[in-house]
Structure 1
Amino acid sequence: MPRLVRLIVLSIFILLALPLQAAPVVIDARTFEGVSVGRHLLLLEDRDGQLQQEDVAKLPDSAFFAVDEEVPNLKFSQSAYWARLTLDNKLPRTVPLIFEFGYPVVDTIDFYSMDDQGQWIRLEAGDRRPITGRSIAHRLAAFPSDVRTGSSSVLIRIQTQGSVQFPVKIWTPLAFHNHRVLCIR
């Protein structure tokens, strides 16, 4: 019996030592009404703030870390942070979505997604940038993106003097408009 107990304890330690894996967000027929995707994010610290989107996009998932929190909170840091969110669109069509960053006091936010030709598109927000430059004029940073059929990823880069958090939610455009613009519950 002591051998069985040791085997169980050893198995538990091995499982706890495994890194967290962030599963892709599955896009199917449901409506996305503020679905929090924090547990799906893979995060990367960029201590010098020098990494470019092209560099980060090429990195394997093993270069990132996952946090088992609905809103990953990395406390205060001078580093830039990147998040990778993998999407798996099961529908036979491109799906328009809005990616909301729900923490308005971040200095700079860069959102990267791919267009139909496989080229990266960069959208900007943050409290150090004019709201007139945003794709969606809203108090929270909101980024529209058309998600192609199959597997794809978006990248988010933030840098701030305040708390580093990733409160990312996904909305369909109609749900975002109803809940965030018209305040219909």
Structure 2
Amino acid sequence: MAYDRYVAICHPLHYVAIMERRSCAWLVAGSWLSGIPVSFIQTTLVFTSPFCGPNKIDHFFCDVAPVLRLVCADTSRNEMSNIMVTVVFLATPFTLILTSYTCIIATVLKMSSPGSRHKAFSTCSSHLVVVMLFYGSGMVMYLRPRSSHEPENDKLLSLFYTVVTPMLNPVIYSLRNEEVKGALWRRVAGKRLSPLQ
């Protein structure tokens, strides 16, 4: 989506040629298929380790870090794998997204019309908020050393990037629609103006 916004704002006349169906298919396929080897490697590393003790984790779902707490052997190889995956699949896309938004902001600031600037900023700001929430909480979760992981903080962070951010995503994007905004304001104003029961 960041690349789509970059092309739409920085190269608007070439948008149709650049974002053709084949390009979009390659972007989607690349993002989906890149996760398969990572999942396979991490699953193999975790479940070939020896487990002992309690078989319950203090977490909402079976994430790698909580499951590694149950391993009886040295988990440094798993932790190194997690850091590499985080850098490649979280920090790298986040850096690319921030770079694209830097180019977008530079282009928007060069626009002469205040209306065009406002429209471009409002188009991109909602996506940037969701990106910051998702990648920020994910990187805090996975780039911390194991010694600083506390179960309560881990649960809160994982809840944030797995539930809160995806839940906010449709809300943020639907609030850009004028009809939805109008209905929301009418609903809020109607609640305030209705007599107390």
* TM-score, scaled to structure 1: 0.23
Compare the two structures and name the one with the higher strand fraction: 1
Max Rg structure: 2
* TM-score, scaled to structure 2: 0.22
Compare the two structures and name the one with the higher helix fraction: 2
